[in-house]
Amino acid sequence: MAFVPLEDVLMSIENRYKAVIVAAKEARRLNQELSKEGEEEAGAAKLTMEALRRVSEGLVKYNEIEEEGEEGEEVQDEKKS
């Protein structure tokens, strides 16, 4: 899988720290999806790169939420037809 430049990711999410959190949550979501389908994990690096690619392409939507004074992100998958 190809390298995803940070600049590409930052085009979708301007804050690099937020981008890392969103990509990590997307990688976890992808891993859970594979587990539900009964497929073996493709490897942590591959899932991370896929998550970064999806974030950079704008396929992952997120909402900023605040919980008792703390900020967090909720990741939602957007499937394009």
Query: Does residue 37 fall inside a structural domain?
Result: yes
| 33 lies in some domain | yes
Question: Structural domain tally of the chain?
Answer: 1
H-helix or E-strand containing 55?
A: helix 44-56
Q: Which tens digits make up the pLDDT trace of 38-77? A: 776 666 668 888 999 999 998 988 887 766 555 556 666 6
- The predicted structure's pLDDT at residue 81: 40
Would you report the helix, strand and coil content of the chain in percent, each value rounded to 5?
50, 20, 30
Helices and strands of the chain, counted as H and E runs: 3, 2
| pTM as predicted | 0.67
Whether residue 73 lies inside any domain: the answer is: no
Structural domain includes residue 66: no
Highest mean pLDDT among 6-10, 25-29, 35-39, 66-70: 25-29
Range of the domain at 12: 6-60
Q: Is residue 13 part of a domain?
A: yes
